[in-house]
A and B are shown apart, each in its own frame.
Chain A
C-alpha cells in the first residue's frame, strides 16, 4: 500500500505519484527489502527517510543502503505497548510530523482526534491512539526536511521514438497463468509484523491451524505436528487467534 502527499502554500498543480520525495515514511521496514515495492526509488541524499524500526538509524542506513537522511523510531513497540494492538497510523503520522518539524503537538493532537473521530474511533481506543501518538512524537528527532520543489519525472527531451505495441499470438495475449504453483515463488515473509510460534508442549495436534490458515502456509508433518512455512506466512494471526489451547504465540518480527 502506498500513498503520496504534496504540501504547499501555493496551489498544487500535480497529482498522483511522487517520483522524487522530500520525505519518505516507511511504516514497515520489511518492505525496504522488497525489490517489487521499490520503496527507495527516487530517494536521494537530501530525502528525509523515516522508518518504523528498532534498529539505530545508522545501522539501518548501512544495511539497507539508504542514501537519504535516515531517522528510525520504534513505533511498533510504542503502539503495542500503549494501544495493545499493532495499529500504526496515528503514531506514525505523529512521528512523521515531528521529523518534518511540521507542527507542535497540540495542533497534531487536535488533527488526530478529528481524523479518528471521523472514522468513528472513540473512547478508550481514541485516547490510547493519542497517547501512542504523543509517545511517538516525543521519541522522534525534529530533523526538518527540505521543502524545495524537486523536478518530477524526466525533464530530458526524447521526442520521436513512440513505441508501437506489437500483436502477440492470441494464446499468449490473455491474462492467464498456465505455469503451476507460481505463487510458491513469491515469498511474503517480509509482509509479517508478527511471527506465529507453535509450542509443541501446548499443541494437541488438532490441526485447526492447518485447516484455517488462509494462505495454506501451515502443513502437517508425518506425525501430524503443524509446521509453519515462514517464507509464505503473512503474519495475519488467524492461527494465533483460533488455536483452542493457545499454543501459538505472536512474536514481533524485528526489522
Chain B
C-alpha cells in the first residue's frame, strides 16, 4: 500500500476495495465510469471478492443496491448527474428501508443545457432523500470519506445510506498523492457488516418497505429517519476521531481555515474550496482578516458547528456552486438557517459561482472581500449574485448572434 498517485475516481474504487464490499451494481456515466471500470477489472482478476453486476439503468442499480444491503451485503455503487436523477425514486425508497450502502456521486451539472463539468445541483437535489452526505475536497479525502461513510451508514443508531460526493473532472480525473491504508488496518476500522436488523434471507421470511396508510405510521417512520440523521452527527464525530487515531487524518463536519482571527468568512464546499483557500491566503497576505469555512458533512446538517464557526464575524459570503432556480444558492439558505436565533449574527451575502465548472477569477475574490466590507456597514442580503464577467457576457452575446439569436442591443 502506501502513497500512490490516484485520480479521485480511483481513490473511490480503492476505498470500496479496501472496505471489502460484497456487491457492486453498476451503470456507467461520465465522469464516474472509471470507478466501476476499476472495480469490474479487480473483480474479474479476483483481486476483489465481490459480485459485480451491470444493470440496465441507474434506477435498477439503486434498487439492486438497496435489496442487496437489505440482505446484509456490504454494497457499493456510483453515479453522477443525469444518472443520479434517473435513480431518484429509489434514493428515497432505499433510505426508507433503513439499509446502509455507500453511493459515490461524481458531481456534474444537470441538463439542460447538457454539460460534463461539475456543479452541485445533482447531489443537492438528493439532499432530502435520507442519504447522509459527505463532500470531499481532495482525492485523499474521497478515500477517507468512503471508509467513514460505511462506518457511519452501518452504525446501529444510524442505518441510513450514505452518499460521498466528489467533483467531476476537478477531482474525478485529477491525480493526487493518496495514502492507501493497509487492508488489515481498514479491516480493524471497518469490520464485516453485521446487520443489526433482520437480514433478508430465504430462511427468514420478512417483509421490508411495507405500505402504510393513515399518516401516523408514515410520519412516525419518516421522523425516525430524521432522528437517526441527527444521531449521525455525534456518531460521525466519534468515527472521525477513531479514524484519526488509526490513520492520522482528522475530518470535521465543517473544516475551517484562517478562522482564528477572521472578521470575514467565505463559505464553500468540495474541490473548488482549494481555489478559495489560495485566494483567502492571498487576501490575508494583504492584511485582510478573512478565513474560509468548508462544508463537508451536509446531511446531517451541522447547524451547531456552523453557528459556532460563524459567530462573532462581521460578514459572511456563501459561494454556492449550484442554483435553485427562483431562489438562488441552496447552501446560502441552509447556512442562514444555522444562524437563526444568534445574537447579532454576521451580515450574509450570497454568491453563485462555478456552475458547470465555470472557473473562479482571482479578482472575484477581491470583489467578494470588498462586498463583505460594505455589508458590514450596509447589512447583508439574500439576493444571489452570479459570478460572471462583463467580458464573458459579451462573448455569450457574440455566440448567440452566431447561433442566429440576435438579442436587442441596450
A15 near B386: Cβ-Cβ < 8 Å: no
Q: Is B389 an interface residue (CB 8 A)?
A: yes
| Among A16, A161, A164, A172, contact of B359 (Cβ-Cβ < 8 Å) | A16
A158 near B363: Cβ-Cβ < 8 Å: yes
A158 near B385: Cβ-Cβ < 8 Å: no
Give the CA-CA distance A185 to B282 in the complex, in Å.
43
Give the CA-CA distance A178 to B393 in the complex, in Å.
20
User: Closest chain B residue to A171 by CB distance?
Assistant: B405
Give the CA-CA distance A12 to B362 in the complex, in Å.
17
Complex contacts, A164 vs chain B, CB 8 Å: 385
Give the CA-CA distance A160 to B406 in the complex, in Å.
30
B407 near A172: Cβ-Cβ < 8 Å: yes
Proximity bits, B381-401, A CB within 8 Å = 1, else 0: 000011011100100000010
A13 near B367: Cβ-Cβ < 8 Å: no
B84-92, B142-150, B273-281, B324-332 - the one binding chain A: B273-281
B277 near A155: Cβ-Cβ < 8 Å: no
B393 near A182: Cβ-Cβ < 8 Å: no
Which residues of A, 170-194, contact B by the 8 Å Cβ criterion?
Answer: 171-172, 175-180, 182, 185
| Among B174, B393, B403, contact of A163 (Cβ-Cβ < 8 Å) | B393
CB proximity of B248 to chain A, nearest CB, Å: 15
Give the CA-CA distance A155 to B405 in the complex, in Å.
36
B408 near A169: Cβ-Cβ < 8 Å: yes
| Known A159-B369, A171-B405, A178-B404; contact A165-B386, beta-carbon cutoff 8 A | yes
Interface contacts (Cβ under 8 Å), in number, total: 79
Residues of chain A at interface, number, CB under 8 A: 34
Complex contacts, B406 vs chain A, CB 8 Å: 172
Q: Is B112 an interface residue (CB 8 A)?
A: yes
CB proximity of A15 to chain B, nearest CB, Å: 5
Complex contacts, A155 vs chain B, CB 8 Å: 282, 362
Which residues of A, 216-236, contact B by the 8 Å Cβ criterion?
Answer: none
A157 near B366: Cβ-Cβ < 8 Å: yes
CB proximity of B255 to chain A, nearest CB, Å: 14
| Known A162-B385, A163-B389, A163-B393; contact A15-B407, beta-carbon cutoff 8 A | no
Q: Is B371 an interface residue (CB 8 A)?
A: yes
| Among B277, B386, B403, B408, contact of A178 (Cβ-Cβ < 8 Å) | B403
CB proximity of B323 to chain A, nearest CB, Å: 12
Which residues of A, 3-28, contact B by the 8 Å Cβ criterion?
Answer: 12-17
Q: Is A168 an interface residue (CB 8 A)?
A: yes
| Among B271, B277, B400, contact of A172 (Cβ-Cβ < 8 Å) | B400
Proximity bits, B349-378, A CB within 8 Å = 1, else 0: 000000000010111001101110000000
User: Closest chain B residue to A11 by CB distance?
Assistant: B177
Complex contacts, B277 vs chain A, CB 8 Å: 13
User: Closest chain B residue to A154 by CB distance?
Assistant: B362
CB proximity of B139 to chain A, nearest CB, Å: 10
Give the CA-CA distance A22 to B370 in the complex, in Å.
32
Q: Is A254 an interface residue (CB 8 A)?
A: no
Complex contacts, B386 vs chain A, CB 8 Å: 165
| Among A159, A182, A185, contact of B366 (Cβ-Cβ < 8 Å) | A159
Q: Is A146 an interface residue (CB 8 A)?
A: no
| Known A160-B370, A165-B386, A177-B404; contact A17-B278, beta-carbon cutoff 8 A | no
Complex contacts, B176 vs chain A, CB 8 Å: 12
Q: Is A152 an interface residue (CB 8 A)?
A: yes
Complex contacts, A153 vs chain B, CB 8 Å: 361-362
B407 near A165: Cβ-Cβ < 8 Å: no
User: Closest chain A residue to B281 by CB distance?
Assistant: A13
A16 near B405: Cβ-Cβ < 8 Å: no
Which residues of A, 75-95, contact B by the 8 Å Cβ criterion?
Answer: none
User: Closest chain B residue to A5 by CB distance?
Assistant: B175
Which of A12, A14, A166, A172 has the most chain B CB atoms closer than 10 A to its own CB? A172
Give the CA-CA distance A180 to B128 in the complex, in Å.
44
Complex contacts, A178 vs chain B, CB 8 Å: 403-405
B410 near A163: Cβ-Cβ < 8 Å: no
Complex contacts, B209 vs chain A, CB 8 Å: none
Complex contacts, A62 vs chain B, CB 8 Å: none
| Known A16-B275, A163-B390, A179-B403; contact A154-B174, beta-carbon cutoff 8 A | no
Give the CA-CA distance A172 to B401 in the complex, in Å.
9
CB proximity of B13 to chain A, nearest CB, Å: 12
Write the residues of chain B forming the contact surface with A, with a CB cutoff of 8 angstroms. Answer: 41, 112-113, 170, 174, 176, 271, 274-275, 277-278, 281-282, 286, 359, 361-363, 366-367, 369-371, 385-386, 388-390, 393, 400, 402-408, 410
Q: In the complex, given contacts A12-B176, A175-B112, what are 13 additional A-B residue pairs having Cβ atoms less than 8 angstroms apart?
A: A13-B281, A15-B275, A16-B359, A154-B363, A157-B286, A157-B363, A159-B369, A160-B370, A165-B388, A165-B393, A176-B403, A177-B403, A179-B403
- Could you pull out 20 A-B pairs where Cβ atoms are within 8 angstroms? A12-B176, A14-B275, A15-B271, A16-B275, A120-B41, A157-B286, A158-B367, A159-B369, A159-B370, A160-B367, A161-B367, A163-B389, A163-B390, A163-B393, A165-B386, A169-B407, A172-B407, A179-B404, A182-B402, A182-B404
Sort A-B residue pairs by CB-CB distance and give the 7 closest, nearest first.
Answer: A179-B404, A159-B370, A153-B362, A178-B404, A175-B113, A172-B407, A177-B403
